[in-house]
A and B are shown apart, each in its own frame.
Chain A
Amino acid sequence: MSTTAEKPAAPDSEPGTAGQSLAALGRRGVGRRTIRTGRVRRLTRRDRLVLAVMVGLPTLIQLLLVWLPTLFSIALSFTRWNGLDLKDIKPAGTDNYRFVVEDYPPFWPAMQHNILWLVFLALIATPLGLLLAVLLDQKIRGSKIYQSIFFTPVMLSLALIGIIWQLFYNRDSGLLNYLLGTAGTPAAVDWFGDSNVNIWAAMVAATWRHAGYVMILYLAGLKGVDPSLREAASIDGANAVQTFFRVVFPAMRPVNIVIVVITIIESLRAFDIVYIINRGTNGLELLSALVIQNLVGEGQVIGVGSSLAVILLVISLIPIVFYLIRTFGKESKA
């Protein structure tokens, strides 16, 4: 990767045009600068020192508080520990993993819920956001107002979203049961409490936020699509749907990649909503919540919690690596 960056490419690249991604822009910049650096720049000793601090400080923070703990998580997942004295850490081989997979009842429900969460966001929330963006990108009266409305939940914390929807879903005081006409009757549903439906209720609440997020990103993406592409398509006789799926959507590739990654990562990170409802129990088990349940409170089982964290890490690495390859690899010449 670094070799591509160092290669003196495209010596006279134009400054960025609308369709180009920033990353592609950046790469050219690197190439161009490298040539000049060779000629002009000579760093003084003081400059080197300043640079070392400028790079060293953030890198140290990043290593110490992000990557070292990640490695510790992996190490702890192969141990047995109650979190008290460091001397009590005992090697446990793969016992924790075996326990989690074979004897830990909430594990498989949590896996299923995480997958369900991902599928729900991918099939409902994300397409809904895209649809809203496409509709609002048209010449439509009140587009700004609609945008503001759909965008509002994006600024709220997921914890607050949990509370707001709790008020909406409540069995006795919530609006939903009134609207369904079941309020006060035995048929009234406690949407967040009933383990048959609460995962769906939580995913609807998550969609409320996710769709708005996707909408904003796609609105920016649609704006970046070269208008002449659409023009050419319509001259060729393509209808609106064909134009969108064959021309406009593929042209938004950089945004599409970001959306795919965000959707996957958000579904793995889902935590706040279920934690505020019932700490991720009784139908709302998620991997992230199980990790925390094993770390806090009495009977801390750090090893089990860490092995769950590592499982979460390994799954997360799939979208992360995909994204890094797309962004930094050779492939991403937008």
Chain B
Amino acid sequence: MSTLASPAPRTASSAGIPRKAGKRHYGTHIFLAVMAVMWLIPLLWSVYTALRPKADTDKYGYFSVGGAFNFDNFIQAWTQGGFSKYFMNSLLITVPSVLLTLLFASMMAFAVSRVSWKFNVTLLIMFTAGNLLPPQVLAAPLFEMFKHLTLPYSFSDSGNLLNTYISVIAVDTAFQIGFCTFVLSNYMKALSSDLTEAALVDGAGIWRQYWNIILPLCRPALAALGTLEVIFIYNDFFWPLLFIQSGDRLPVTTAINNLQGQFLSNYNLIAAGAMITLIPTLIIYLVLQRQFVAGLTLGSSKG
């Protein structure tokens, strides 16, 4: 719980611990500064390449400072690459997946943590284990199951579940429920049982206990998990790659697989395209970094 209350790791440790000041810290600072620069170089290089027109990099070389700097590559990559479409697809996949994951996971977590019954632990183990499997293990059967599930053409133009958003949403949800159930059930277990007991005395049914009492108390955990899951699912490359064949239905992360073919060896455009896909992540990073870190560390304190 403490991770949630103050998600960002504390920099100073509590008083009374002797810390070596002076010399040692210079070494630390030099090391950290060098590492930080190394860490930033690949990213900054992409931004730098993206900001320069191809004509200038051809003339001066990529490793140079000459020429103009502008956003032309971004504009060209956006229109030529069809990014608005890909972002829409990402949105259509990510939002339902995250909402469904949190809904199902919170229901499951409520049932296994607030109501005592025989298979609690068994189910929790099954959910947690499922989340840890490499997705490639399930790839063939899921692909074939979706392919052989015949659907009316009015519902899906492939006649089956392949090439639909639903296939990706369903599998993303199934794959993420395990992790969220685990984290939420630990969170709910730590809530006092007096809360629901009081509601029980008032005659509240299970659903009201879940929806009106427990869920609102889980808001911090849900916010952290929600942020984490948005990033996870937005960043998911594999499932759309497997299920979606027509390029114009791909979400952004999978669509960048085609970037290199699309822009041939125009590295300036590729860099601009890559940086465009980074925008939603960047926004979440700036606005919700604390939530994201809280989500990650919530998952790790499960050990």
Chain A residues with a Cβ under 8 A of chain B: 1-2, 5-6, 15-16, 18, 21-23, 25-26, 29-30, 32-34, 36-37, 40-41, 43-44, 46-47, 50-51, 53-55, 57-59, 61-62, 64-70, 72-73, 76, 83, 86, 132, 135-141, 143-160, 163-168, 170, 172-175, 178, 183, 208, 212-213, 216-217, 219-224, 227, 230-231, 234, 240, 253-259, 261, 265, 268-269, 271-272, 275-276, 287-288, 291-292, 295-296, 302, 305-306, 309-310, 312-313, 316, 319-320, 323-324, 326-328, 332, 334
Contact = CB atoms under 8 A, between A and B. Distances in A.
Q: Is chain B's interface secondary structure helix, strand, loop, or mixed overall? A: helix
8 contacts: A15-B190, A54-B107, A62-B130, A72-B140, A73-B137, A174-B62, A275-B257, A288-B136
Contacts of B171: 65
B55 interface: no
Nearest to A313: B137
B88 interface: no
A153 B39 CA distance: 9
B254 interface: yes
A216 B297 contact: yes
Contacts of B97: none
Nearest to B204: A47
Given A61-B104, A295-B140, A217 B123 contact: no
A208 B43 CA distance: 11
Contact of A61 (B40, B135, B177, B235): B177
Interface in B17-76: 17-20, 25, 28-29, 31-32, 35-36, 39-43, 45-46, 49, 57, 61-63
A62 B11 contact: no
Contacts of B1: 16, 22
Given A54-B108, A159-B253, A216-B293, A140 B29 contact: yes
Given A157-B253, A269-B135, A272-B237, A5 B190 contact: no
Contacts of B148: 86
B301 interface: yes
Contacts of B178: 62, 66
Nearest to A17: B2
Interface string B230-273: 01001111100110000000000110110110000001001100
A292 B285 contact: no
Nearest to A252: B303
B-side interface size class? 35 or more
A198 to B, nearest CB: 16
Nearest to A37: B116
Interface of B: 1-3, 8-14, 16-20, 25, 28-29, 31-32, 35-36, 39-43, 45-46, 49, 57, 61-63, 104-105, 107-108, 110-116, 118-130, 132-145, 147-148, 170-171, 173-175, 177-178, 181, 185-187, 189-190, 192-193, 197, 200, 205-207, 210, 231, 234-238, 241-242, 253-254, 256-257, 259-260, 267, 270-271, 274, 277-278, 281, 284-285, 289, 292-293, 296-297, 299-303
A320 to B, nearest CB: 5
A32 B148 CA distance: 48
